[in-house]
Amino acid sequence: MKVLMFGWEFPPHISGGLGTACYGMTKGLANQNVETIFVVPKAFGDEDQSAVRLVNASDIIVDSTDEAYKEFWKKITYMEIGSNLIPYVGPQEFARLVEKNNLESTGLTKKVTSTKFNFSGKYGSDLMAEVSRYALVAAGIAKNLDYDLIHAHDWLTYSAGIAAKKISGKPLVVHMHATEFDRSGININQNIYDIERKGMEEADRVITVSNFTRNIVIEKYGINPDKVFTVYNAVEPTEKEVDEVKRYVKEKVVTFLGRLTQQKGPEYFIEAASIVLKHDPDVRFVMAGSGDLMNKMVKRVAQLKIGTKFHFTGFLRGTDVDKMFMLSDVFVMPSVSEPFGIVPLEAMRSNVPVVISKQSGVAEILKHALKVDFWDVHGMADAIYGLLHYESLGKMFRKYGKDEVNSLKWDNAAYKIVQVYQSLFQS
Amino acid sequence: MKSICFYFQVHQPFRLKTYRFFNMGHDHYYYNDFENSHIMSRVAQKSYLPMNDLLLKLFKKHGKDFKVAFSLTGHAIEQLELYAPEVIQSFKKLADTGNVEFLAETYAHSLASLRSKDEFFKQVELHSNKIESLFGVRPTTFRNTELIYSDEIGSLIHEMGYSLMLTEGAKHVLGWKSPNFMYCNAREPKLKILLKNHTLSDDIAFRFSNHGWSEWPLTAEKFTDWLSSLDKNEDVINLFMDYETFGEHQWRETGIFDFMAALPAKILKTKKFKFSTPAELGKELQTIAPIHVPYPISWADEERDITAWLGNEMQDEAFNKLYDLEPKIKNCDNQEILTDWYRLQNSDHFYYMCTKWFSDGDVHKYFNPYNSPYEAFINYMNVLSDFTMRVEENCQKSDSEKIIEKVDELSKDISTAAKKAVKNTRKKVQDIIATNKPDSASFDRIKELSNAKIKTLLKEIDAENLLYALQDATDEVRDKVLPNLTKTAKAEYDRLSEGIKKIRKSDIAKSRKIIAEKISRFFS
């Protein structure tokens, strides 16, 4: 089986979770004897090379001399299209960035390992126009290649996917890694919503990264449930060695790690922290990451008068993330809407017990985690308090958590994706 | 004639409400009244009342030919009294027929037998009192929480004075042996043991409504046939199950009531069986062999062991922290604290913390008010933390604690006294050493004295002492002393010194000491 896949990034050129996921997925598919032609937009020669190095500090260490890696590339054809599609940026933001012509650090990434993405603004300044242009180029590619089906990741590539389907007549699978509702809450961008819905309507199969996302797709986009399948993300096993970090504070440390945006629910973490601190002053809370809610969060912490126990680190990069985990006794992900959520898995891999919101895809598969509704700050505080005070709880999490994470393999996810592919040809 | 023995377990725990850590210290009410009353009323309506009615009808119909046994936990009774008192009345009616035996167990449906003999005995006593006060008969047969049993628990039961108890016919304990006989405890042969026939019991309790089961639907005829086909030489078939099987676990719609309504008649019609209560069997049947149960068994799960309640880190921490309070509670007469103490011992709380069935177990989800064992643990520990604070504030110290405290106090006194004594002794010893020492230094100071003073001194010293003291003395000292002697004294001294051959060192020291003492007054 041969798949024409539209993504927007691929290791080592990654800025967020999607690139990592695509890498794991195609690797898993290769093990299932599925060949992939991977197409990504790329602003030719214009990227800041230091940015590339920065994102390289993420989980995936790609060594092109590695035998396994070579084997993998045999089954992959990798294509880049001249385009300046930027992941994780909406049209307004896109226009602003292009206008500015030189963007500084922005919330480009899903992970806190931020990347600086210098942009030349050489191409069209309207994101929607750019999406269309990308679709045209994609159609051109689609015409000249041989494959069995098309697989497009997230809305930026849906137009390309549809164009490819129209020109080739091959079935289309679209993959929802995040919806506009996750990114923007209730203030959604109508254009993006329309593209997402059209992509899913035109698609023969829709893959969602969790049932949480599947429900949104069915309820808010009106997609026929029969063609929507959930395939949970997985994680690449890592052999990363991090040096022992010395702890200089005697208090236990509770950590939030993520972008400070509405989607991630940082304010609920602060409220929970204040409840815990009222009854137990011997705890420190750390908020790692930055984003448009930063100032508001700092203000709220001041208002609650917990500043001496509540700390902001700003963006953490690369090994600082691992160090932060090593310094943490509890990790909290209070996301308001999280299609999947990979960070708690990274925490668990570092032996840190986690509290996660029920409004996350990852909550559907994790057993060794405490789950609370994001708005239930009392429950969240109680979970944190329990982990800090009742010894055996952390012991249980450390005992089983790491194994649980390591059992989430891309090979299994790829197997399920292949089943979805095969269902296209059975009827 | 072979016996059929029905025994039904009635239990409902006091489920805890969501109790956050910030409730600690000011909120001392731990129970989810809404859920507890809701569940109790539902189970009463769906199960206890209709099944009691059915049993009453069957007793009327069959007279003394049909009998059953019940065990009601203290907490089931408490909640029935609170939320469904009509059920108590209906049990009293059953008791009045004389066709029912009530069994003994722990009041709190607790795991005390695995931890504390004292607490275990106390709770069984409490339970028997309750049963006697309600139904007028004191139980004579024992059954432990969840049929938990081991050789050791058996010998405790024997010590309590029981001669019969019930437990699970666990395969791993029985091996090739049949559960359908009377056995006895491995240490105390006088304690008889009735074993649950788990295949036939579970056919009714668990498989009855399972459409995937090859024997579905189960009818009274079919079940009677199975009973009839068993080995003719066997003595008894023990059908032990939760009473909620009827109408709650197996809904009315499954036909469970019809099955039970028809079963006694069908069985009695064969003329091969009679119905007996455990107590009757205890009198009637001889034991055929001891059973050896070194590790505790129960009637739960495939494993038939105690891992549903104890064994993972959380269960063990909660269990140990709870029973660590026992010495303090022993002398406690605060009724509210005692009530909570029993309710917190409910085995169900530990069952909710079990992580075994992350993989299997719909059964357990059904019985579990929590979303995860972790939540169950946190909630329980929050409650237990508050309870511990109350115990520490309100409970008198137990005898053993008092003794330990007294010992601590004493040892403190003793050590202070000892230190004082040591100090005094050391001082004395130092003094003695200082004075006893063949202290040439202090004797030698004689040379620092003026001639006049030496003369005064010499008047007080006899010649012999002086002679001894001056042995081995430096020339400087001799030259200082001897010229100051009076002529008489000098003559005496010379005379003595000629007569002396050997002088012991001790004599030298003694003499020098005597002189040094006298010298000291010139310096003080």
pLDDT of residue B361: 47
Instruction: Give the closest of B21, B316, B371 to A382, CB-based.
Output: B21
* Alpha-helix residue ranges (DSSP H) falling in B136-270: 151-160, 171-174, 198-205, 220-228, 256-269
Hey, which residues of B are catalytic here? 146
Q: Is B21 on the interface with A (CB under 8 A)?
A: yes
pLDDT of residue A60: 30
Per cent of chain B over pLDDT 90 is 69
Whether residue B362 has pLDDT greater than 60? no
pLDDT of residue A113: 27
Over residues B218-223, the mean pLDDT reads: 96
Instruction: Give the closest of A278, A371, A391 to B371, CB-based.
Output: A371
Residues on chain B touching A393 (C-beta within 8 angstroms): 313-314, 374, 377-378
Residues on chain B touching A370 (C-beta within 8 angstroms): 372, 374-375, 378
How many C-beta atoms lie closer than 10 Å to residue B206's C-beta? 17
Instruction: List phi, psi (to 5°) of A239.
Output: -110, 15
Over residues B63-74, the mean pLDDT reads: 96
Question: Could you tell me the pTM of the whole model?
Answer: 0.77
Is the Cβ–Cβ distance between B347 and B111 less than 8 Å?
Answer: yes
Residues on chain B touching A392 (C-beta within 8 angstroms): 312-314, 316-317, 377
Six-digit token string for A285: 């809370």
pLDDT of residue A55: 24
Instruction: For residue B33, give how far its alpha carbon lies from the nearest alpha carbon of chain A (Å).
Output: 20
Overall fold of domain A252-406: Rossmann fold (3.40.50)
Mean pLDDT taken over chain B: 90
- β-sheet bridge partners, residue B142: B104, B165
Residues across chain A: 427
Select from B16, B315, B365, B378 the residue whose CB has the most chain A CBs within 10 Å, as the one to mutate to test that interface.
B378
Cβ–Cβ below 8 Å for B374 and A393: yes
Instruction: Give the closest of B21, B317, B382 to A391, CB-based.
Output: B317
User: Strand, helix or coil at A255?
Assistant: strand
pLDDT of residue B176: 93
Between A219-228, B10-19, B250-259, B513-522, the lowest mean confidence (pLDDT) is in: B513-522
Q: What is the DSSP string of B332-350?
A: ---HHHHHHHHHHTBHHHH
The residue that leads in pLDDT, B77 or A48, is: B77
Q: Is the ipTM of this complex over 0.85?
A: no
Q: Is A371 on the interface with B (CB under 8 A)?
A: yes
pLDDT of residue A50: 29
Cβ–Cβ below 8 Å for B314 and A389: no
Residue identified by tokens 């001041």 is A302
- β-sheet bridge partners, residue A228: A206
Whether residue B408 has pLDDT greater than 70? yes
Q: Cα–Cα distance between B359 and B355 in angstroms, integer?
A: 9
Q: How far lies B68's CA from each of A234, B56, B98, B241, in Å?
A: 56, 11, 10, 12
Q: Is B313 on the interface with A (CB under 8 A)?
A: yes
Q: Is A74 on the interface with B (CB under 8 A)?
A: no
Residues on chain A touching B316 (C-beta within 8 angstroms): 392
CA angle at residue B383 from A370 to B10, to 5 degrees?
A: 95
Dihedral angle sign, alpha carbons of residues A82, A86, A92, A93:
negative
Cβ–Cβ below 8 Å for B313 and A370: no
> What ranges do the domains of chain B cover?
2-13+31-306, 312-396, 437-523
Residue A68 CB-density burial (10 A; 0-12 exposed, 13-18 middle, 19+ buried): exposed
Q: Cα–Cα distance between B346 and B112 in angstroms, integer?
A: 10
Overall fold of domain B2-13+31-306: 7-stranded beta/alpha barrel (3.20.110)
The residue that leads in pLDDT, A68 or B359, is: B359
pLDDT band at B475 (very low <50, low <70, confident <90, very high): confident
The residue that leads in pLDDT, B201 or B524, is: B201
Per-residue pLDDT of chain A (427 residues; tens, 9 = 90+): 899 988 877 666 655 677 778 888 988 998 888 988 888 776 433 333 322 222 222 223 333 344 544 554 555 555 555 555 555 555 655 555 444 443 333 333 222 222 222 222 233 456 776 777 677 777 777 777 889 999 999 888 898 899 888 888 899 999 999 999 998 887 888 888 999 999 999 999 999 999 999 999 999 999 999 999 999 999 877 766 667 778 888 899 999 998 898 999 999 999 999 999 999 999 999 999 888 899 999 999 999 999 999 999 988 877 888 889 999 999 999 999 999 998 999 899 889 999 999 999 999 999 999 999 999 999 999 999 999 999 999 999 998 998 899 889 999 999 999 999 999 998 6
Nearest chain B residue (CA) to A385: B21
pLDDT band at B37 (very low <50, low <70, confident <90, very high): very high
Is the Cβ–Cβ distance between B192 and B282 less than 8 Å?
Answer: yes
pLDDT of residue A229: 97
Q: Which of B119, B143, B149 is nearest to B131 (CA)?
A: B143
The two domains B2-13+31-306 and B437-523 share their CATH topology (first three levels equal): no
Six-digit token string for B518: 């006298």
CATH superfamily membership of A2-236+409-426: Glycogen Phosphorylase B; (3.40.50.2000)
Q: Cα–Cα distance between B86 and B79 in angstroms, integer?
A: 12
Q: How far lies B370's CA from each of A397, B121, B367, B388, B487, in Å?
A: 18, 31, 9, 23, 113
Cβ–Cβ below 8 Å for A371 and B372: yes
Cβ–Cβ below 8 Å for A381 and B372: no
Residues in CB range of B236: below 8 A, 6 or more apart: B2, B3, B4, B5, B180, B181, B182, B194, B276, B281, B285
- What's the distance, CA B442 to chain centroid? 69
pLDDT band at B398 (very low <50, low <70, confident <90, very high): low
Per cent of chain B over pLDDT 70 is 96
Nearest chain A residue (CA) to B315: A392
Residues in CB range of A202: below 8 A, 6 or more apart: A158, A161, A162, A165, A172
| Start-end of CATH 3.40.50.2000 domains in chain A | 2-236+409-426, 252-406
State the CATH class of domain B437-523: mainly alpha
pLDDT tens by residue, B120-179:
999 999 999 999 999 999 999 999 999 999 999 999 999 999 999 999 999 999 999 999
